[in-house]
Amino acid sequence: MDDSKLEEIAKALGVTKEGIENFSEEAILNIIGNTYHVDISSAVNYGCSFNPLDKLMDAYEENKKLHERLLQAEKDKVVYLEKLIK
């Protein structure tokens, strides 16, 4: 393949012409084998330092408390308005 065509292909792929010329499947497999490690603990929780379910439950409890406070505020308004009417 001529150099100009190889340059166009390399540019389209986002690599150098030399990278294509010196490509070796064995080298690629060696690089992948040396850099790909799965840590079971991080694979299970995806690197989170907290339990997402705990955060969800905390948000649910906060929402529940907020709802109870809003409901009490409405009850207090009703009592206040009833006193004003009498």
Q: Examine the domain organization and report whether 1 and 33 are in the same domain.
A: yes
**Per the domain annotation, does 42 fall within a domain?**
no
Residues 20-63 have pLDDT tens digits of: 787 777 776 766 666 655 555 555 555 567 777 888 999 999 99
- Per-residue pLDDT at 44: 52
| pLDDT for the residue numbered 3 | 83
Does one domain contain both 32 and 57? no
Higher pLDDT, 76 or 29: 76
**What number of residues does the chain have?**
86
More confident position, 8 or 51? 8
Identify whether 25 is part of a domain: yes
* pLDDT at res. 77: 94
Residue 3 included in any domain: yes
For residue 43, being part of any structural domain is answered with no
Does 45 map to a domain?
A: no
Torsion region of 14: left, alpha or beta (phi above 0 gives left; psi -120 to 50 gives alpha)? left
